[in-house]
Structure 1
Amino acid sequence: MPEGKIVKALSGFYYVKSGEDVFQCRGRGLLRKNKVNPLVGDYVVFEESNPGEGYITEVEKRKNELVRPPIANIDQAIIVTSATEPDFSTLLLDRFLVLIESKFIDPIIFISKMDTVQSDKRDAIEQFKSDYERIGYQVQTLSTKEPENFSQIVSHFKNKISVIAGQSGVGKSSMLNAINPLLKLATNEISASLGRGKHTTRHVELIEVNEGLVADTPGFSSLEFNELELADLPDCFPEMKERRAECKFRGCMHNKEPKCAVKSAVDAHEIPAYRYKHYLQFFEEIQNRKPRY
């Protein structure tokens, strides 16, 4: 039977791309019986019932999935954060990064609106950029006055399934429109939706951008750590994960334990103090989370 990838889900139909053709499919009853809910990004096996139509019979194992937006097998998340308006926030950026790391998705950080930064604040933004690059993240600054920067970021999309993350007003729409003007209507609708403080789901769709696929969705509509277990939090901070074996106690949570390599690295300014502060905030948030039944 033919195989393909779900590139759009809408009103109970799944649009499966196989080769150059797209088939409108429904899920077989067996999938519902086994509580398998196909997602955009899934690799599936289907059988063709009529020309251009069919039924999904099997969903292949996923490497990751998101709940909001509902999408699977993401290669990377592009986090867009602005230098100003809204002001650059390491706390919000770290929240995005932890959520993305917890799903085993590679993050890339874009700092937008660099042309609007006053000279006295530019050094601080450059220092933050350096901090995150030292951790191992890819970071790129963007300016609307330097459109050549936008052309450089196009290479990040090739052969990847990407989601775009970032709060409203940081320039996600401008970035996508600079890459592919055909996305303008969709991204404007997304911005308007986010600007009202709520997300009205239309559908999730993967759109071709420079030989890759980008989810036409606002990205994370929830920034809660509802699915993250406390024991997994340290591994969502790469600079802590790499030092974990150096701690005196196995399973060290880098909080109140003595002879902790992470706390020593913070004291030695090898780990930015604000990153550790955010870690403790997230630690407390997850620890005090109401139990799920």
Structure 2
Amino acid sequence: MPEGKIIKALSGFYYVAHDGEITQCRGRGVFRKNKITPLVGDQVVFQAENSTEGYILEVAERKNELVRPPIANVDQAILVFSAVEPGFSPVLLDRFLVLIEFNFIKPLIVISKMDLADHAAAEEIERYASEYRKAGYDVLLTSAEAADGIDSLRPFLEGRISVVAGQSGVGKSTLLNMLRPDLELKTSGISSHLGRGKHTTRHVELIEIGGGLVADTPGFSSLEFTELEVEDMTRCFPEFLERSEFCKFRGCTHLSEPKCAVKDAVEAGDIPKYRYEHYTEFVQEIKDRKPRY
């Protein structure tokens, strides 16, 4: 039986790429019975009489999967945030980063619309970029309109499955259009009435860009920590994890324990205060979560 990768899912059909061809498939009923939903990024075994009448028979084991957006086997998450319109939000970025780290996916932070930022806003973004780099993240500053920084993104794409995610209206589709102009993905500005971006991408699809596969995904602005427990949170902040071995107590939660290396680093200014505040806020959110039965 042939094998391939799902590159698009739309209206109950799965488009499987294999040997330079794409076959339109449906999922067998056994998937619904076993509560398995094939996802974009899945490696699958399928059978097909022709290019439009195939059936997926088997889904290979996944190394990871995301719920929003629904995609599997991701190597890298390109988190696009804008300097302005909408304004840069460290707390929203940290929510994204936590969920990406939790799924063992490598994040890349891209801050767009730098050409629209005034001097004060640009300086603030540069400071944030420096602090996130110090925490261990790759950060790129870009301007799609002026094409600044776009080429620096290409080496990160090669040989990887990347998901592009971020708040609506930050310029995800614009960024992909700059990398591959023939895509002509729909873009949209900010809704003046709602103050947030209008959704322009309605489904998940893997697109060949820069020697890799990139998923353009629907924009969204809220993320919940439904799968995380309190003990997961420390490893989702890499600069905390790096220092946790120097805490007095093994399994330190960096909240009320004495001689905590993370809290000491915050006091010394080695970890930005907002990162620690977001950490404590997220931990409390998990503690306040209603138990699942």
Q: Distance in 2 between matches of 1:23 and 1:132?
A: 42
4+ runs of 1 displaced by more than 6 Å?
189-192, 194-198
* Higher mean C-alpha deviation, range 247-256 or range 117-126: 117-126
- Equivalent pairs counted in the alignment come to 292
Aligned partners of 2:82 and 2:113 also within 8 Å: yes
Query: Shift of the alpha carbon at 1:3?
Result: 0.9
Alignment partner, residue 261 of structure 2: 261
Post-superposition Cα deviations, 1:95-146, rounded to whole Å, max 9, x if no partner, equal 1111211111111111112222222343322221111111110001112464
Alignment partner, residue 10 of structure 1: 10
Aligned partners of 1:173 and 1:191 also within 8 Å: no
Q: Distance in 1 between matches of 2:195 and 2:173?
A: 12
Over 3 Å counting, the alpha-carbon distance change for 1:167 and 1:196 in structure 2 is closer
Post-superposition Cα deviations, 1:181-232, rounded to whole Å, max 9, x if no partner, equal 233344449999x977786984322122122222132255641112222210
Aligned partners of 2:188 and 2:200 also within 8 Å: no
* Alignment pair present for 1:67 and 2:67: yes
Over 3 Å counting, the alpha-carbon distance change for 1:172 and 1:227 in structure 2 is same
Q: Give unpaired runs (5+ residues) of structure 2.
A: none
Over 3 Å counting, the alpha-carbon distance change for 1:108 and 1:215 in structure 2 is same
Alignment partner, residue 118 of structure 2: 118
Query: Shift of the alpha carbon at 1:39?
Result: 0.7
Alignment partner, residue 80 of structure 2: 80
Aligned partners of 2:204 and 2:218 also within 8 Å: no
Aligned partners of 1:164 and 1:218 also within 8 Å: no
TM-score normalised to structure 2 length? 0.90
The one-letter code matched in structure 2 to 1:140 is L
* Alignment pair present for 1:40 and 2:44: no
Alignment partner, residue 138 of structure 1: 138
Alignment partner, residue 271 of structure 2: 271
Aligned partners of 1:157 and 1:210 also within 8 Å: yes
CA RMSD in angstroms, aligned pairs only: 2.5
TM-score normalised to structure 1 length? 0.90
Aligned partners of 1:68 and 1:221 also within 8 Å: no
Over 3 Å counting, the alpha-carbon distance change for 1:245 and 1:220 in structure 2 is farther
Aligned partners of 1:7 and 1:41 also within 8 Å: yes
* Higher mean C-alpha deviation, range 141-150 or range 84-93: 141-150
Over 3 Å counting, the alpha-carbon distance change for 1:47 and 1:191 in structure 2 is farther
Q: Indicate the percent of aligned positions where both proteins have the same amino acid.
A: 62
- What secondary structure, in the 3-state scheme, does the structure 1 residue paired with 2:184 have? helix
Aligned partners of 2:140 and 2:152 also within 8 Å: no
